[in-house]
A and B are shown apart, each in its own frame.
Chain A
């Protein structure tokens, strides 16, 4: 099993969710995140005072998947989230030791 983490532009989350849903992924966790990559931050101006905002708002998507579907779903997320502009984000994959569905106590792939 793998944990796929994707940090993407907030406005693509709905599109990514739809694509994953259609690919049969039945759950996901989304959280608000802040960060910067090559895009850097941006500048805000209040009454002539310029404020460098270092951390840009992003959405962090986490899904747990079986080993065999990992590559396919990573590609799906990448294609769906891509705008071609700087700041599109990153996707990474981590090995997952175990998963448990709290309601039934099922473990492993059955709990995905």
Chain B
């Protein structure tokens, strides 16, 4: 193997730094989710995030990364296997010859996106999915849902990318995908016993706030890193991330204050996340002023969206659809409206910027295709797993809590009793 010395060191460093930041989002998500479940299920949901790190890493290296980024096999549907095992990375990834960062850094960076997207699903399945079933679910989901979608959008050879779809950091592949995949799983899985009548209040909101803070921090890598180089677009994406998070928080809290009288801390954390979800596809394509508006709209809209489940009675326990699905859709729509080449010449011009209908319509198409594809295929996977290995824990285990039933642990031990044996 010859080591190519042509890669730009600063760009490579930027992408590696981004990869580390995005990885850190997954333990952050574990805390964010962990605080929102009851104390008997906190380890179980955190374990779902941690196991996703390992499982998706192995799958991505083995075949996933190659199927996403290798030369297209035809029709823009799937890549080949020349990059399996992270081999063949001495030259630029197909279609990404403009990227000056080391291709292996780009692959590792992209690996982290797949990890957190898989982990996001656990927010819907909380409190009732068998641990082995969750592992099986994310294995099949990664290969059959995430990999094709990522090829379609993230690889320049994908069919959606070919149509001119813009998605800076994964409004489709990460956000809409996780939201609608989660909806499919929870429809197969069913509601938690007792929901929505019984109180299932968060056991530690401070834990969720810390998690939200880590997500916020990591999101700079997620969005700004997606420029794949140290340049003005990276700076814009970084700035827009902060702006949308800030106004997302405001939007959610304002909604609560006027709708329910009390602005809540969990609402503040959720609003910041919603703002960053919506800005994800837009980060490197819209102006800072637009980012402020997109964040605010996301905070308001997602605060409404998380209430929908009570009306339609699907138990998306921690609102993956309401925050990531809806926030992602909003991001894609606003990108079609507000993208401007004055920020990024490689981007596009939205409907309201005088770019005409083209960008708006392909953004809408990509959003709908992602939602429908993710929902349909994930539903089939979940149904198959439910009929074969079974998705749910027993009634007794659900009552006892998954920390004990799935992992033989308790999160909060008061010490003293028991002995080794």
Residues of A whose CB lies within 8 Å of any CB of B are 44-49, 51-53
Contact = CB atoms under 8 A, between A and B. Distances in A.
B310 A48 contact: yes
Interface of B: 36, 196, 199-202, 205, 256, 260, 262, 264, 266-267, 270, 303, 306-307, 310, 319
A9 B260 CA distance: 27
B97 to A, nearest CB: 45
A54 B234 CA distance: 51
Nearest to B199: A51
A52 B36 CA distance: 17
Contacts of A45: 256, 260, 262, 264
A36 to B, nearest CB: 14
A48 B260 contact: yes
Contacts of B202: 46
B201 A48 contact: no
7 contacts: A45-B260, A45-B262, A46-B202, A47-B264, A47-B270, A47-B306, A49-B310
B154 to A, nearest CB: 31
Contact of A46 (B196, B201, B303, B310): B201
Contacts, number: 32
A47 B262 contact: no
Contacts of B260: 45, 48
A12 B257 CA distance: 31
B319 A47 contact: yes
Contacts of B36: 46
Contact of A49 (B196, B256, B262, B303): B196
Contacts of A44: 201
A53 B200 CA distance: 11
B257 to A, nearest CB: 12
Nearest to B267: A47
A49 B200 CA distance: 9
A51 B199 CA distance: 5
B313 to A, nearest CB: 13
A42 to B, nearest CB: 12
Contacts of B307: 47-48
Nearest to B308: A48
A17 to B, nearest CB: 24
Contacts of B270: 47
Contacts of A47: 264, 266-267, 270, 306-307, 319
A51 to B, nearest CB: 4
Please give me the 9 A-B residue pairs with the lowest Cβ-Cβ distance, nearest first.
A48-B307, A51-B199, A51-B201, A47-B306, A46-B266, A46-B202, A46-B201, A45-B260, A48-B306
Q: Which of B201, B267, B270, B310 has the most CB of A within 10 A?
A: B201
Contacts of A46: 36, 201-202, 205, 264, 266
Nearest to A50: B260
Nearest to B255: A48
